[in-house]
Structure 1
Amino acid sequence: MKQFTEGDIPDILFRIGELADRENIPCYLVGGYVRDILIERPCTDIDIMVVGEPVAFARIIRNELRGKNFVVFERFRTAQLELNDEHAGALKIEVVGARKESYDLDSRKPFTEIGTIEDDLSRRDFTINALAVSLNSDKRGSLTDNYNGVGDLERRILRTPLEPEQTFSDDPLRMMRAARFVSQLGFTPDPALAEAMKAMHERIRIVSRERISQEFFKIMLSPEPSRGLGMLYDTKILGDILPEVTAMAGIEQVDGLGHKDTLFHTFQVVDNLSRHSDKLWLRIAALLHDIAKPVTKRFHPSTGWTFHGHEAVGIKVVAKIFRSMRWPLEPLDYVQKMVRLHHRPIPLSKEEITDSAIRRLMFDAGPDLEDLMNLCRADVTSKNPRKVVRIMKNFENVEQKIAEVAEKDLLASWRPPIDGSDIMTTLGLTEGKMIGIIKSRMENAIIDGLIPYEREAAIAFIRKVYEELNG
């Protein structure tokens, strides 16, 4: 059995064990921090479990070891604080009491009661997290592993300590956490675990959207999100939380003509993008870029399957998803922009590229142009290697043309040479709808190459437009 030493664990945690000795309290490192030590994965969030009163002991830790940012959660009998270790740096500590925890059948929030260390480890989500290391001097560094979590770590298997139905019934969010660990760690779910998730998938609906989204974002930020997304789809949980996404699944055929499975194409796009970008909301945009294909799908005998207007419809579906999932609204415009524009660079890569077309793309994408091009590259999922090479070469031509236009007329961070205030001053107007009309025409004229990117040319143009509008 593994014996943890000072080389494995920061010294300040053993000092907590000394405080526990003084108070005659059994004290353990538990959960994910122990797991991550064993698999040599960085982790600074530390759970300390005591068989006793956790909040009072957390105050002793704060006072004796100069803890900062002390927060108490009375309902859950937990406290959080930050400690600084000479070698490990800043550590986030959560002090909890050994406990039992479960949900009422229709509750969104757990209730807890005092338990033993055996109770505490049995109520944890997975065997790889049901691990405890003693910090008390008499058993310092000894590992408690009642459910063979170390063996599951070695075999890269995800199992629950108790029957999975019991574990998931106690806290349905653990089904999302299962998909997250499969995605983050590359583990294989135990068949009984996956079957329980499928049988109990509807129970996820009692969990708050905020808690669901926290786990969902962690899946999306994992090295290979499709592993977690695929597990959620296979167990029907994805349909409970994001039915618009699961609606993309399947292939419909008419007269022997089918289209690609949009859902699994989308999963591949997300993985492709994840190899080059760790931006959460760009990954979300990749997941949602074809979200409106199911509602815009049409079959025409002469042309086959089409999805006309799915970008425009998609931005409305994206807004609906943000509201239903209670995601922050700040990134909504960005995600909608990516969905709206994700097809724009593709025609450019197939035809003679004009300066005006490039300017229009740069203007519409603004500072997010690089993200858009990354999304478009990730959207290439053909199984034909020659086709992929050809498309990527065309994208390189578009990017070269962008660089040339940007250098030529400073459109990389495009702003018009005059603004609304200049227009009002020049024309002697006050704020109103007329200013917006004139400004929009001036911007389009520059983007389309009708007038040069110069202040004098812009002023002459707005005078002319004003005269036409008042003619």
Structure 2
Amino acid sequence: MQSVAAAVARLDELADSPVVAELARVFADAGHELAIVGGPVRDAFLGRPVTDLDFTTDARPDRILELVTPISSAQWDVGRAFGTIAARVRGETVEITTYRADSYDGSTRKPEVRFGDSLDDDLARRDFTVNAMALALPQRRLVDPSNGVEHLLAARLTTPGTPEQSFGDDPLRMLRAARFSAQLGFDVDEDVMQAMTAMGDRLAIVSVERITDELTKLLRADRPRRGIELLVETGLAERVLPEIPALRLEIDEHAHHKDVYEHSLTVLDQAIDLERSRGHEAPDLVLRLAALLHDIGKPATKRVEPGGAVSFHHHDVVGSKLATKRLKALRFDNDTVASVARLIELHLRFFGYTEGAWTDSAVRRYVRDAGPLLERLHILTRADVTTRNRRKADRLAFAYDDLEQRIEHLQKEEELAAIRPDLNGDDIQRVLGIRPGREVGEAYRFLMELRLDEGPLGPDEAERRLRAWWDARA
């Protein structure tokens, strides 16, 4: 949180921008109120980049469109029914929404849209007080009826009215509380947490797509751990991502094992740190989902072995299947589902490397199996080391350094990322005198195994080996 003086200076700078100044002039000349509202005002106080320009006004949608058309290069009225008109002004996209005074019937999160005439009333219906501030234009007057600035200074997240009323109007706001807690680093008020705990069943009226959108925004936050912990603590995770609270496995006096829930959150933290240190500019949703979910197969595979040790055999394979099922239920796109599931399936592969030197063939297979996910697998595998035993952690880090160096060396020699057999399908058909079919596929796989085991053979040697394999097969 920056100083109030600095925030005021940023708000002045925002009001002086050509886009805002022009809109303020047009609406004032027409006798209408206009205010920058919500996120841009909040972010000015927090010193965060202002990426969206959201305005609110007493003008009705048709009038908004009439006013912005002469000063904009494009207009969109897809949100007209909800009072929102979007436009492209001086190269920037803005959204302008009529004051709202909606009512809800409790059976759906879609309101009965009613337009209002008061900025204060419009702000009172917003989700959290830190988002219920506005900068009235052109006066540049801060409008803050719910003490949002005070709550920003205290790093508190609370609602303008009672949380029960707010969440009853729109249950998705409960997930937003977790997301904003993670994005802003704010503490959620106790009464807000109590309402989240008591009203979890209200999420049933929210579409899967909206829930997934909030989870995605949460995971892309700088530190999503805070929001995930809030979802688990309030019981909301049981309703949207139940595999996470299930990781809190019971630890008894006879079968001690690592706290899988805490371990998974630590892996997520470490994956994000590595994501940044390795030069990834944008948050990697696939990597973060894989880090969070990589051990969700453990509850189903937990076994207490003779002597009291705990094992989780094949939890990588089970976890991959569980992740696929959950992410499909949340309607993530197919590429995301497949990539997360594959990373979970592969996340234990490296640990065999420390048990004995891998052959070049094993390194090639590691690269081939990871495919385009190799960099993410590097990060996930490194992040999965959470032991407090410094000697063990160093040994694993050194081993993975060695593996990455060997991969880099082999890639330079063999272009592993595009590894192919020495003969293609057409070559196989020509050499063996066969037509396209199952036998061509079998021959291709034979040559691929040779390529992985021995490296490049050259066309002549590959043809000799292929003929010998074919003769022996007959």
* Normalised-by-shorter TM-score class: over 0.9
Note if contact 1:311-1:341 (Cα within 8 Å) is conserved in structure 2: yes
Q: Which has the higher helix share?
A: 2
1:120 to 119, 122, 127: 122
Q: Which residue does 1:87 correspond to in 2?
A: none
Q: For residue 95 of structure 1, report the CA deviation from its aligned partner.
A: 1.1
Q: For residue 302 of structure 1, report the CA deviation from its aligned partner.
A: 4.0
Report sequence identity in percent.
35
d(CA) in 2 for partners of 1:176, 1:132: 23
The size of the alignment, in residue pairs, is 459
Note if contact 1:128-1:149 (Cα within 8 Å) is conserved in structure 2: yes
Note if contact 1:45-1:91 (Cα within 8 Å) is conserved in structure 2: no
What does 1:320-339 align with in structure 2 at a 5 Å threshold?
Answer: 320-339=325-344
Counterpart AA for 2:223: E
Secondary structure in structure 2 of the residue aligned to 1:125? coil
Q: For residue 303 of structure 1, report the CA deviation from its aligned partner.
A: 6.7
Q: Which residue does 1:442 correspond to in 2?
A: 447
Q: For residue 468 of structure 1, report the CA deviation from its aligned partner.
A: 2.5
1:411 to 405, 411, 416: 416
Go from structure 1 to structure 2 and tell me whether the alpha carbon gap of 1:18 and 1:407 turns closer, same or farther (over 3 Å shift).
Answer: closer
Q: Which residue does 1:175 correspond to in 2?
A: 174
Q: For residue 72 of structure 1, report the CA deviation from its aligned partner.
A: 2.7
Note if contact 1:55-1:95 (Cα within 8 Å) is conserved in structure 2: no
Deviations 1:352-377, CA, capped at 9 Å, x for gaps: 22212111111111232121011000
d(CA) in 1 for partners of 2:465, 2:263: 47
Q: For residue 6 of structure 1, report the CA deviation from its aligned partner.
A: 4.5
Q: For residue 238 of structure 1, report the CA deviation from its aligned partner.
A: 0.7
Note if contact 1:131-1:144 (Cα within 8 Å) is conserved in structure 2: yes
Deviations 1:404-429, CA, capped at 9 Å, x for gaps: 33334332432333222322233222
d(CA) in 1 for partners of 2:333, 2:54: 28
What is the TM-score of this pair, normalised by structure 2?
Answer: 0.92
d(CA) in 2 for partners of 1:68, 1:276: 41
d(CA) in 2 for partners of 1:6, 1:261: 50
Mean alpha-carbon deviation: is it higher for 123-132 or for 39-48?
Answer: 39-48
Q: Do structure 1's residue 133 and structure 2's residue 139 form an aligned pair?
A: no
1:423 to 421, 424, 428: 428
Go from structure 1 to structure 2 and tell me whether the alpha carbon gap of 1:453 and 1:317 turns closer, same or farther (over 3 Å shift).
Answer: farther
Deviations 1:134-153, CA, capped at 9 Å, x for gaps: 114xxx11100111111111
Go from structure 1 to structure 2 and tell me whether the alpha carbon gap of 1:75 and 1:54 turns closer, same or farther (over 3 Å shift).
Answer: closer
Counterpart AA for 2:154: R
Q: Which residue does 2:84 correspond to in 1?
A: 78
Please, which runs of 5 or more residues in structure 2 have no aligned partner? 276-282
Note if contact 1:102-1:171 (Cα within 8 Å) is conserved in structure 2: no
Deviations 1:69-94, CA, capped at 9 Å, x for gaps: 5233232121222222xxxxx43211
Q: Which residue does 1:46 correspond to in 2?
A: 53
Deviations 1:73-119, CA, capped at 9 Å, x for gaps: 232121222222xxxxx432111111123543221433321222122
Secondary structure in structure 2 of the residue aligned to 1:285? helix
d(CA) in 1 for partners of 2:351, 2:323: 22
Please, which runs of 5 or more residues in structure 1 have no aligned partner? 85-89
Secondary structure in structure 2 of the residue aligned to 1:43? coil
Go from structure 1 to structure 2 and tell me whether the alpha carbon gap of 1:67 and 1:48 turns closer, same or farther (over 3 Å shift).
Answer: farther
Counterpart AA for 1:411: L
Go from structure 1 to structure 2 and tell me whether the alpha carbon gap of 1:71 and 1:424 turns closer, same or farther (over 3 Å shift).
Answer: farther
Go from structure 1 to structure 2 and tell me whether the alpha carbon gap of 1:342 and 1:468 turns closer, same or farther (over 3 Å shift).
Answer: same
What is the TM-score of this pair, normalised by structure 1?
Answer: 0.92
Note if contact 1:345-1:373 (Cα within 8 Å) is conserved in structure 2: no
Q: For residue 275 of structure 1, report the CA deviation from its aligned partner.
A: 1.6
2:74 to 58, 68, 74: 68
Mean alpha-carbon deviation: is it higher for 156-165 or for 18-27?
Answer: 18-27
Q: For residue 446 of structure 1, report the CA deviation from its aligned partner.
A: 1.7
Counterpart AA for 1:440: R
Note if contact 1:26-1:50 (Cα within 8 Å) is conserved in structure 2: yes
d(CA) in 2 for partners of 1:424, 1:303: 57
1:275 to 270, 273, 276: 273
Go from structure 1 to structure 2 and tell me whether the alpha carbon gap of 1:303 and 1:427 turns closer, same or farther (over 3 Å shift).
Answer: farther
d(CA) in 1 for partners of 2:242, 2:430: 52
Deviations 1:251-306, CA, capped at 9 Å, x for gaps: 333x6222222222111111111123221111111112112111111111147211
Q: Which residue does 1:35 correspond to in 2?
A: 42
d(CA) in 2 for partners of 1:318, 1:55: 46
Q: Which residue does 2:397 correspond to in 1?
A: 392
Note if contact 2:323-2:341 (Cα within 8 Å) is conserved in structure 1: yes
Counterpart AA for 1:276: L
Q: Do structure 1's residue 462 and structure 2's residue 466 form an aligned pair?
A: yes
Q: Which has the higher strand share?
A: 1
d(CA) in 2 for partners of 1:104, 1:422: 69
